[in-house]
Amino acid sequence: MAIQFKKNRIVFHEVVGVEEAESLLEAMQGNSSSKVDLAACTHLHTASLQVLMAGRPAIVSWPRDAELRAWIETALGARS
Amino acid sequence: MNPLLEQFLSESREFSQGIGEKLMQLEQAPADQGLIQELFRLVHTLKGNSGLFTFPEMTRVLHAGEDLLGMVREGRIAYSRDLADRLLEAVDFVGLLCADIEATERIDASRVEDSVRLAESLRGLMPAESFKPTVADTRRMAATANIETPSAVAPATSLFHDLPEATRAHALSQSQAGDLLHWLCYTPMSDCFFQGDDPLFLARQTPGLLWGKVRPHEPLPALADLDTYRCVLTFDLLTAAPREELMEHFRYVPDQVTMVEVDPRWLAPERAEHASAVNPPGSSANQKPSELRPRPLPVPGSDALPAMPIALSHEEPAALEKILSAQQHILMLDGEPESRAGRLQAVALVLANLAQGAGDPAAAREVKAALAECLSTGRNDLLLLWIEASQEHLLQAYAARAHSLDSQPAPANTISPPGTDVPEPNPAKMEDGIKFGRRSEDALTKPKSLKVDQAKIDRLMNLIGELMVEKNALPFLAQRAEDQYGVRELSREIKGQYASINRIVDEMQDAIMQVRMLAVSVVFQRFPRLVRDLSRKLGKDVQLVLEGEQTEADKNIIESLADPLIHIVRNSLDHGLETPAVRRACGKRETGTLSIRAAQEADRVVIEIRDDGKGIDPAVIKRKAYEKGLIDEAALERIDDREAVNLIFAAGLSTAEVVSDLSGRGVGMDVVRSAVEKINGTVVVDSQVGKGTTLRISLPLSMAVTQVMVIQTDGQLFGVPMDNVVETVRVPRSAVHSIKQSLTTVLRGRIVPLKALNTILGIPANPLRNPDDELAVLLVQAGGQVLGLLVDGFKETIGLIQKPLAGFLSGLSAYSGSALMGDGSVLMILNVREIV
């Protein structure tokens, strides 16, 4: 599983595909205070990115991949 | 080029042609529902085929065509001349793409623009409400709207506004260094996730990417209402890659991307400082936003060709003079009267074209009138007069035209910096102006392969056979000229002619053979599946190795090879190869190997089927053959292991202990042998117990022409196939010995049994001897045996087309067929296998 759903934290791993978007959305709908850990993420599908953009969760750690980080930072612009 | 692509190309050409034809027919009968149905099917299939490959340009256009035809089919729009024109245009475009693919195996990125424009023009014919249903169209309309309004600069504003200082400075320095930067706005379709797109991935992979940003192009709904699979994002990208590369990168989604060349001034620090949300870069006092209109990816007709006709250069007037004087010369020729009309017409055509080229249609009409006059009066003066009168005028017209072209600026293909006039996309122009510089009439498609009815080839084959017979008559004619009429000279000349005709006929025959050649892969290709299925059924582990699939042979040979080969492969799998457990016990690899090799050896094709199974035990075969009464006791002692193994080809022999549903009913191998022999092939088996079995099938390349040696006995001529002939020798009568009833001789230390052909054929005469008291012996071999046939004399070897004996004669097993000789006589071909 590319996304691990913990109690209060959603952890992304490596490449997050399109399939994960649905469960990500459900998880975020269920617990809006969940924080997101992107450190190990190298790519996430646009659909998941869109969910993040809509939900605007707190990001506890940004991707180590600098390029992806730049993308996500600008996408979630207002917060960062 | 891989075979699939090749087939695709040849089919595409066929379909394109079919579509063209159907459209033509529709012009005559616009209401014919059947035709429209057929047309739709053609376009649909072609589109589907193109989707198998990565030719989005082709698919895009065909998809639009298909949608359009779908509506015509449903009666939602009526067929019109305009519709046919655009569809034909689309078909031409597909032809063009096919030519591209054939040359380079890919479609150049430069075609993207054309394909988008063409799809656009096709969709333009659809009623407006039909745009709604597909999200793709909605999206595209939005994109178009973007281009049309000055607000298109707005994204640029935010882009440059958001640009981090470091990136901006870097981009600016790159831009000032002369690198052309592009700003891209990529808005994926909202249903793109369903098509497997990942826009973020595509954006991240953009070549030369300097900076990028994702933003929703419509307010994102609250989390609770979010539709995960509806994409509402837009990507802004700043890249240093050249336009072509970007087009290549976004070739699947060109309609979702807009591209603007970035002016360095936009990136200048002071502008960036000034820039705010309401004051976009480049839109300060002296520049109106409209001048900064982004260039959409599809560049509309800006580089369209100037209107016909085109003058080439200053040399033209000189050339014109030459042309005119040549016409005068032709008109003044006396020539044969019968070709006069043709000459006049040709001259008039040239003149009329010249006048047309000079932009003077009235003059062209004059020429036509003059021609009619000349034709009816039989005098050429009128045309001559016309030339004299118009020469000056034409020269001037062309000179003026050449001058005006020279002073005209080059077609606006260069990059215009913002601030100068960028041609506006004009929808009306887009719709009429799509030409590809190649229309169907000059887009000569040259299909590389032809589909020909087999009957036509067979007819050619028969004709060449007859030609050969006629050709063979020439030497007889030469002989007659010499013997009967005593004209040696003529005889020699006929022989000379014969030699050259012979060469041509041989070549022709060879060419026709080539047409009929087929690669053995046709038969081989079914084996992987067969072996896989059978080995699973039998619980065996088998690796199949195919070699020499490209080896070619006559179609009939290849086709008749299929069944025997399947028999052999089945036998190998069933009897030959062992189960993994047995193999392990024998110390062999668990996976058995079955290899099928084809190769050409001289004028024969050899196919070798080898397995590394348990082999055939000659002792078992011998015993079985004896039990079944196939061999007698004497043979049981006499035959060696090799011969014994070959007994598997005898009818009614099965070595399998159990009759399975695969093989073992004793009909296998003798069927193989007879099938192979029917096409003049031979099959031998070699086997080593425990090591494996090898079957070698040797087949002629072609069965149409048989090389035959003509022999004479008791004044009659017979043919013996060269395949059977070993050698011809003269044996002194003293060297022939009688052992009991049979005659033998010793040839190079080997005892050769002799038989008189006369005796075999029941002719009551003794073999003739030559003055040296020698007998003519034709050494033949059949079924592994060598035999000397006593004949009266040897004649030449000829190639002929053998005809099977029909009717009552078909029962004569001593002959395999008959053939017509050059002198009209019938030559009987001996069936050596039967008579030895």
**Could you write out the three-class secondary structure of B420-445?**
ECCCCCCHHHHHHCCCCCCCCCCCCC
Distance from CA of B253 to the nearest CA of A (A): 16
Taking contacts as CB-CB distances below 8 angstroms, the residues of chain B near A75 are 213-215
Q: Where are the beta strands (DSSP E) in B513-551?
A: 517-519, 542-547
Taking contacts as CB-CB distances below 8 angstroms, the residues of chain A near B162 are 74, 77
Tokens coding B516: 């009929």
Cα–Cα distance, B515 to B142 (Å, whole number) = 56
Task: Judge whether B188 is closer than 8 Å to chain A, CB to CB.
Answer: yes
Q: Does residue B718 surpass a pLDDT of 70?
A: yes
State whether B366 and B465 are in the same domain. no
pLDDT for residue A8:
82
Q: What is the mean pLDDT of residues B145-169?
A: 53
Cα dist. B303→B93, B242, B309, B332, B436 in Å? 17, 19, 17, 46, 11
Q: How far is CA B564 from the centre of its chain?
A: 29
Q: What is the mean pLDDT of residues B39-68?
A: 85
pLDDT for residue A1:
63
For B216, the closest of A53, A71, A74 (CB atoms) is A53
Question: pLDDT category, B596, cuts 50, 70, 90?
Answer: very high
Task: Judge whether A28 is closer than 8 Å to chain B, CB to CB.
Answer: yes
Cα dist. B465→A29, B32, B65, B459, B510 in Å? 85, 48, 51, 10, 12
pLDDT for residue B253:
82
Which is higher by pLDDT, B830 or B269? B830
Cα–Cα distance, B770 to B731 (Å, whole number) = 10
CB-facing half-sphere around the CA of B55: CA atoms within 13 A? 31
Whether residue B144 lies inside any domain: the answer is yes
Q: For residue B155, give every residue at least 6 positions away whose Cβ sits within 8 Å of its Cβ, in sequence order, or none.
A: B185, B234, B236
Q: For residue B523, give every residue at least 6 positions away whose Cβ sits within 8 Å of its Cβ, in sequence order, or none.
A: B558, B559, B561, B562, B565
Taking contacts as CB-CB distances below 8 angstroms, the residues of chain A near B193 are 18, 45-47
For A54, the closest of B212, B220, B229 (CB atoms) is B220
Q: How far is CA B487 from the centre of its chain?
A: 54
| Percentage of chain B exceeding pLDDT 70 | 80
Cα–Cα distance, B783 to B682 (Å, whole number) = 8
Max mean pLDDT range (A48-52, B319-323, B390-394, B737-741): A48-52
Q: Which amino acid is at B680?
A: N
State whether B116 and B152 are in the same domain. no
Question: pLDDT category, B655, cuts 50, 70, 90?
Answer: low
Q: For residue B373, give every residue at least 6 positions away whose Cβ sits within 8 Å of its Cβ, in sequence order, or none.
A: B382
State whether B536 and B677 are in the same domain. yes
pLDDT for residue B416:
41
Question: pLDDT category, B297, cuts 50, 70, 90?
Answer: very low
Task: Judge whether A42 is closer than 8 Å to chain B, CB to CB.
Answer: no
Tokens coding B161: 């506004």
Give me the residue label for tokens 């309004």.
B149
Cα–Cα distance, A49 to A66 (Å, whole number) = 16
Sign of CA dihedral B551, B557, B559, B565: negative
State whether B831 and B733 are in the same domain. yes
Q: Which H or E element spans position B710?
A: strand B705-713
pLDDT for residue B145:
36
pLDDT for residue B279:
41
Whether residue B558 lies inside any domain: the answer is yes
pLDDT tens profile B600-619: 887 788 999 998 888 888 88
Q: What is the mean pLDDT of residues B30-41?
A: 84
Contact yes or no for B699/B676 (Cβ under 8 A): yes
Please tell me chain A's helix, strand, coil percentages from 3-state DSSP, rounded to the nearest 5. Answer: 40, 30, 30
pLDDT for residue B284:
41
Q: What is the mean pLDDT of residues B392-405?
A: 69
3-class DSSP assignment, residue B350: helix
Q: Does residue B133 surpass a pLDDT of 50?
A: no
Which is higher by pLDDT, B270 or B485? B485
Question: pLDDT category, B368, cuts 50, 70, 90?
Answer: confident
State whether B157 and B184 are in the same domain. yes
Q: What is the mean pLDDT of residues B378-386?
A: 77
Q: Does residue B571 surpass a pLDDT of 70?
A: yes
- Where would I find the H helices in B450-526? 454-483, 488-516, 521-524
Taking contacts as CB-CB distances below 8 angstroms, the residues of chain B near A23 are none
Rg (CA), chain A: 11
Q: What is the mean pLDDT of residues B21-32?
A: 80
Whether residue B414 lies inside any domain: the answer is no
Q: Which amino acid is at B662?
A: L
State whether B552 and B685 are in the same domain. yes
Domain boundary among B635, B670, B700: B700
Max mean pLDDT range (B1-15, B321-335, B417-431, B496-510): B496-510
Q: Does residue B407 surpass a pLDDT of 60?
A: no
Cα–Cα distance, B347 to B381 (Å, whole number) = 13
Max mean pLDDT range (B144-153, B355-364, B822-831): B822-831
Contact yes or no for B440/B85 (Cβ under 8 A): no
Q: Does residue B270 surpass a pLDDT of 70?
A: no
State whether B681 and B579 are in the same domain. yes
Q: For residue B335, give every residue at least 6 positions away whose Cβ sits within 8 Å of its Cβ, in sequence order, or none.
A: B343
Whether residue B831 lies inside any domain: the answer is yes
Tell if the CB–CB gap between B214 and A71 is shorter than 8 Å: yes
CA neighbor of B144 nearest in space, from B177, B172, B119? B119
Q: What is the mean pLDDT of residues B577-594?
A: 88
State whether B525 and B656 are in the same domain. yes
Q: What is the mean pLDDT of residues B323-351?
A: 79
Tell if the CB–CB gap between A25 and B226 is shorter than 8 Å: yes
3-class DSSP assignment, residue B571: helix
CA neighbor of B747 nearest in space, from B713, B784, B777? B777
Tokens coding B16: 């394109």
Cα–Cα distance, B181 to B166 (Å, whole number) = 16
Q: Which H or E element spans position B141?
A: helix B135-148
Contact yes or no for A37/A60 (Cβ under 8 A): yes
Instruction: Give the mutation candidate from B198, B218, B236 for the A interface (greatest A CB count, under 10 A).
Output: B198
Cα–Cα distance, A7 to A48 (Å, whole number) = 19
DSSP conformation class of B574: I
Question: pLDDT category, B499, cuts 50, 70, 90?
Answer: very high
CATH of domain A3-75: 3.30.750
Tell if the CB–CB gap between A47 and B221 is shorter than 8 Å: no
Question: pLDDT category, B504, cuts 50, 70, 90?
Answer: very high
pLDDT tens profile B758-800: 888 888 888 888 888 888 999 998 767 788 988 888 888 887 7
CA neighbor of B791 nearest in space, from B761, B821, B831? B761
Whether residue B439 lies inside any domain: the answer is no
Rg (CA), chain B: 41
For A54, the closest of B188, B223, B229 (CB atoms) is B223
| Percentage of chain B exceeding pLDDT 90 | 3
Longest CA–CA span in chain B (Å) reads: 127
3-class DSSP assignment, residue B732: strand
Q: How far is CA B37 from the centre of its chain?
A: 28
Provide the number of structural domains found in chain B: 6
Which is higher by pLDDT, B173 or B202? B202
Q: For residue B405, give every residue at least 6 positions away whose Cβ sits within 8 Å of its Cβ, in sequence order, or none.
A: B310, B311
pLDDT for residue B608:
92
Give me the residue label for tokens 């069965």.
B703
Tell if the CB–CB gap between B162 and A77 is shorter than 8 Å: yes
A-contacting residues in B 220-249 (Cβ below 8 Å): 220-224, 226, 228-229, 231-233
| Average pLDDT, 10 consecutive residues per value, chain A (80 residues) | 80 84 83 83 86 84 85 69
Distance from CA of A46 to the nearest CA of B (A): 5
Tokens coding B362: 């009235």
Tokens coding B812: 């004569």
State whether B153 and B270 are in the same domain. yes
pTM for the whole structure: 0.42
DSSP conformation class of B128: G
Cα–Cα distance, B475 to B492 (Å, whole number) = 10
Q: Does residue B500 surpass a pLDDT of 90?
A: yes
Q: Where are the beta strands (DSSP E) in B174-302?
A: 181-186, 209-216, 233-239, 257-262
Task: Judge whether B162 is closer than 8 Å to chain A, CB to CB.
Answer: yes
Q: Does residue B292 surpass a pLDDT of 60?
A: no
Domain boundary among B672, B700, B728: B700
Q: Does residue B425 surpass a pLDDT of 60?
A: no
Bridge partners of B815, per DSSP, are B830
| Least confidently predicted of B638-647, B692-701, B731-740 | B638-647
Burial class, B289, CB count within 10 angstroms (exposed 0-12 / middle 13-18 / buried 19+): middle
Q: Domain limits at B477?
A: 454-516
Domain boundary among B641, B673, B700: B700
Q: Does residue B823 surpass a pLDDT of 80?
A: no
Q: Does residue B410 surpass a pLDDT of 50?
A: no
For A49, the closest of B200, B222, B229 (CB atoms) is B200
Closest residue in A to B215 (Cα–Cα): A75
Contact yes or no for B24/B38 (Cβ under 8 A): no
Whether residue B361 lies inside any domain: the answer is yes
Cα–Cα distance, B266 to B258 (Å, whole number) = 18
Average pLDDT over chain B reads: 76
Whether residue B105 lies inside any domain: the answer is yes
Distance from CA of A47 to the nearest CA of B (A): 6
State whether B24 and B93 are in the same domain. yes
State whether B69 and B160 are in the same domain. no
Q: What is the dihedral of CA B325, B327, B331, B333, to 10 degrees?
A: 70
pLDDT for residue B419:
44
State whether B259 and B353 are in the same domain. no
Which is higher by pLDDT, B408 or B329? B329
**Are β-strands B826-830 and B716-721 bridged in parallel, bridged antiparallel, or unpaired?**
parallel
